[in-house]
Amino acid sequence: MSRARDLLAKTQQEIHRIIYDLRPSLLDDLGLSAALKSHAQEHLAGRGLSLSLEIEEGLPARPEIEIATFRIYQELVTNILRHAQAEHVSIELYERDGRLVLAVEDDGVGFDPDAKSAGVGLTGMRERAALLNGSIRFDSEPGMGTHVVVEIPIP
């Protein structure tokens, strides 16, 4: 019976973690800039990767854009941790010419973004950006790291 209770407690903790990761309270409380910084520190630097952050402060709150951008960012980080074998990650977030720009670069093993096996994650990121009339560009090739730029128009 105690094993079942332990399993239930662990399952509840995991559910809370998943919910937090999907929409961290930092996103609501402090905005996209703070949420990206916190997530990067915990998930990238916290796992030993070298990290460069150039994140513009004081971006106006735009919940729909922030949520989509954060989810794209999360998928990028997940892919870096799972596949890239990177040592360094650079993250930039800023507004330019009426667009929110997120740029993420790693020095990992790279990949062919046009390969059929590129996966559902890349398709999901493309679809999220497109829903907001934005774009996402993957610049990568095997052995050369990856540079991703997301641009979302600001209404």
CATH of domain 2-153: 3.30.565.10
| Radius of gyration, CA atoms only, the chain | 17
> Across the beta sheet with 99-106, what order do the strands follow?
50-55, 88-96, 99-106, 146-153, 135-140
C-alpha to C-alpha distance for 46 and 150, rounded to whole angstroms: 24
pTM: 0.84
Tens-level pLDDT at each residue, the chain (155 residues): 788 888 888 888 777 666 656 666 778 888 999 999 999 999 999 999 999 999 999 898 898 899 999 999 999 999 999 999 999 999 999 999 999 999 999 999 999 887 766 567 889 999 999 999 999 999 998 999 999 999 999 98
Question: In the structure encoding, which two tokens stand for residue 17, read together?
Answer: 């973690």
Could you tell me which of 97, 90, 35, 45 has the C-alpha nearest to residue 68? 35
Give the angle subtended at the CA of 76 by the CAs of 52 and 22, to the nearest 5°: 105
Could you tell me which of 18, 110, 35 has the C-alpha nearest to residue 73? 35
